[in-house]
A = this chain, B = another copy of it.
Amino acid sequence: MGVTTNDIARICQVSRTTVIRALNNQGRISKETKDRIVRTAEELGYRPDLLARGLVKGKTMYIGVVVFDVKNQYFAQMLSAIETEAQTRGYCVNITLHGKNREKEVDLIRKLVDYHVDGLILSPVNKGEHFNKFLKSLDTPLIVIGNKVSDEIPFVGIDERRAAREATDKILDSGYERVVFVCPPLGESKEGNNYTHEQRLEGFRDAMGSRFTEGQIISSESYGEEAASILEEGGGRTAFFCSGDIYAMDIMKYLKARGKRAPKDYGIMGFDDIELLEYLSPRLSTIYNSVEEVAKRAVELLFDEMEGREIAMETYERYRLVQGETL
């Protein structure tokens, strides 16, 4: 449908090669013919066919990103950072979503690879040896954010376990007698990749030591109700350590409707420090997870990998406890 180099070559009475040289200004070419070609190309509204170019060059100047959701602020922030970082390098980002559907995730990755994206950034919901093999078989540079797949797939994130331990220590230091770990993702299918949340649980366990009991974990969808009934029980000053700010927000909302408020009636701590916390009060105590830095680093590493440099299999960014008003 569009104008091709052939058309221009015919009109300018030169070969296609010359047209290419003029348009991509490479190689020796006389200023006159070049100008003539460039001018007619513009007049005709010539646009290179990127599929054809990609086919022959084996590069597309696109990097693919696969995540499950953008409504989740964590991913929204991540995607923004990736986009910015990639564009400064002249690359475009192709973002695709699958909503925690594991087969769809694999399909999307495949399709991106079949389209020859030059690199891939994922925050996968799949896990296991099968998925690991799959990723390795792609021979496309890729970086995983957050949910580690294996030691063979480069990973960027924060030390979730240590962060969770410190957070729990902080809660304990604040004098809470009972600490409950709230982590709905752990209640989801065991087939999914929950590395991040599992690490947080480990950190919680580390800090609790001998005080840990299974009863201190809420992993159901109805965590609001469960939290409420735990508070009803009595049994000492209680704090909820939530494996995600959003769960903390839900709990605060739920308990508030029942007349209970933090930090007066209970303590609560989140995880992620998503941007919308600034609109809430009381300010939630949480852990800043450096999404932007993680995303930026992921892009850096991806480009290193794309350019053939050796990269670390694990890269950790800093996290930081955020002192709020809910402990």
Residues of A within 8 A of B (CB): 1, 45, 47-52, 54-55, 58, 60, 69-71, 73, 75-77, 79-80, 83-84, 87, 92-97, 99, 104, 108, 110-111, 113-116, 137, 139, 249-250, 253, 256, 275-276, 278-281
Contact = CB atoms under 8 A, between A and B. Distances in A.
Given A76-B76, A94-B96, A137-B45, A279 B280 contact: yes
Contact of A95 (B47, B55, B96, B108): B96
B96 A92 contact: yes
Nearest to A75: B70
Contact of A114 (B47, B84, B95, B111): B47
A113 to B, nearest CB: 7
A313 B202 CA distance: 56
Given A76-B70, A96-B94, A97-B80, A49 B55 contact: yes
A50 B114 contact: yes
A71 B80 contact: yes
Contacts of A256: 281
Nearest to A1: B139
A310 B182 CA distance: 52
Contacts of A47: 110, 113-114
Contacts of A69: 80
Contacts of A275: 71
Contacts of A58: 1
A99 B84 contact: yes
B92 A95 contact: no
